[in-house]
Amino acid sequence: MGQGFFLLFAAVSVITALMVVLARNPIHSALALMACFLQISAIFVLLGAPLLAVIQIFVYVGAIMVLFLFVIMMIDVREAVLQRFVPGGNLPALVLLGLLGIEMLALVLWSDRFSVTEPVAASGGDEIRQLGTTLFADYLLPFEVASVILLAALVGAIVLARRESG
C-alpha cells in the first residue's frame, strides 16, 4: 500500500515539476509549483514526519507561493517575456544536465548502501517532544543564527521594496 501511494505522489510531483519548468506563463508555473509542494508534503507524511508536512504546507504553500503570486500580479507579466521554452536553446547546459542526471542515477543505482527497506525503529516517546528537545538543546546556536538571518532578511526586504524617497 505504501508503494502505491509513493508511486502516485512521486509521479504527480515529477509531472508538476516538469510543468513548472515548461509552462509559458509564470502564473501557471507558480500554480504547478504549489501542487508539487503539496505532493512533497504528502511524501513527508509517508516518511513518518507529519510535523514537517504541516510546516511545508504552512510555509511554502501558505506563505511563499502567495508571495510569488502577489509579485507576479504586481509586476506586469504581459509585457514581460512570454516566450516559448525551447529545450535546445542552450546546448552546453543541456548536456551538462544530462551528464549530471546520469551520474547521480548511476551512483544511486549501483551502490548497495541505499537498499534499506525497513526504517530503524525510532526510540519510543513523543516525536515532536524529541524534535523540540533536539532543536532547542543540541542545535540552539544554529536556531539563533537562523532567527538573526530571518530578521536581516525582513529588514532587507523592506529596504529593497521601499520606494526611493530621496
Partner 1 sequence: MVPLSWYILLGVVLFVIGAAGVLLRRNILVVLMSLELLLNSVNINFIAFGHYHGDLRGRIFAIFVIAITAAEVAVALGILVALVRNKSTLKVDDVTMMKG
**Binding letters toward partner 1, positions 27-66, x by CB under 8 A:** --xx--x--xx--x--xx-xxxx-xx--xx--xx--xx--
Q: For 137, phi and psi rounded to 5 degrees?
A: -105, -55
Cell matching residue 7: 508511486
Cell matching residue 54: 504541516
Q: Is 8 in the site for partner 1 (CB under 8 A)?
A: no
Helical (H) or strand (E) element with 124: none
Q: Is 105 in the site for partner 1 (CB under 8 A)?
A: yes
Q: How far is the CB of 97 from partner 1 (least distance, A)?
A: 5
Q: Is 85 in the site for partner 1 (CB under 8 A)?
A: yes
Q: Is 121 in the site for partner 1 (CB under 8 A)?
A: yes
Q: How far is the CB of 98 from partner 1 (least distance, A)?
A: 9
**Cβ distance to partner 1 smaller for residue 120 or 166:** 120
C-alpha dist (Å) from residue 72 to 59, 69, 153, 157, 160: 18, 5, 20, 16, 17
Find, among 49, 22, 51, 54, the residue nearest to 37 by Cα.
Answer: 54
Contact 133, 143 (CB under 8 A): no
Query: Using the rule CB under 8 A, which residue among 54, 73, 100, 140 binds partner 1?
Result: 100
Query: Using the rule CB under 8 A, which residue among 8, 73, 101, 140 binds partner 1?
Result: 101
Q: Is 110 in the site for partner 1 (CB under 8 A)?
A: no
